[in-house]
Structure 1
Amino acid sequence: MLALIGAAVGVYRVKYESTLQAERIAKLRGEIRKEKEAIALLRAEWSQLSRPDRIQELASRHLALKSFELDRLDKLDKLPEKPKPPGDPIGDMIEEMDPLDITSSIPGAVQ
């Protein structure tokens, strides 16, 4: 009789815990569904707000921008040379070295 009562209590506990877990899962699925709907709504709103024609219209209305003219661009060859970094003793030594000294293991050796 005691074994039967113990088994009934065990089965009731398992059933109660599984019911709680099923309710928790259903609640989480509902929250996930709501979050997915919120994400879809935000994506739709973002695509509406980031339309190029809307941005162009807002820029024209609120910003005093001039149109870009291609003749204002300059060629790359007209740019000044990059200045040499000051105080680079190792770079200066490498530039002053004989190419044969750089490629051989013995300075002054001919290959």
Structure 2
Amino acid sequence: MRSLFLVSATLAVFGLGYWAYGQNYKTQAALGEVEALNHQIGRMREELAVLRAEWAYLNRPDRLRDLAELNFDRLGLLPLAPEQFGRIDQIAYPGEETVLPISDAIDVTGVLPQ
């Protein structure tokens, strides 16, 4: 009986050692994957910063103004001027009298077809 207990305890220790060994390799693989993903995120953030800088460079007002003047024949774009902007109190909102009456209403509260 005692030898059976010792054999089963030894097998249990070997089994747990094998399981721990496998878990160690899985953990190392997951840590490697996390590190690779962190490097990829860093590269993408750098790329995004470069793209934002390029976008800001290409959207400079003086460059856009020169392009609008250069392509005026094809596009007909005019440069922005301060006179083209207005104040919020200059906007004419529709009044109550401009609301159109509802005609030919459809009743949708009826029984649904089956």
Q: TM-score range by the shorter chain?
A: 0.5 to 0.7
* RMSD, matched Cα: 3.0
SS at match of 2:64: helix
**Superposed counterparts of 1:81-96, under 5 Å:** 88=101
Q: Which residue of 1 aligns with 2:30?
A: 21
Q: Which runs of 5+ in 2 are unaligned?
A: 1-9, 84-89, 91-96, 103-114
* TM-score under structure 1 length normalisation: 0.57
Distance, in Å, in 1 between the alignment partners of 2:24 and 2:78 is: 73
Runs of 4+ more than 6 Å apart: none
Distance 1:66 1:24, change over 3 A: closer
| 1:46 shift after superposition | 0.3
Distance 1:8 1:59, change over 3 A: same
Percent identity over the alignment is 29
Code of the aligned partner of 1:25: V
The higher relative CO (CA closer than 8 Å, separation ≥ 6) is in 2
Q: Which runs of 5+ in 1 are unaligned?
A: 71-75, 77-83, 90-111
Query: Of residues 23, 32, 48 in structure 2, which corresponds to 1:39?
Result: 48
* TM-score under structure 2 length normalisation: 0.56
> Whose radius of gyration is greater, 1 or 2?
1
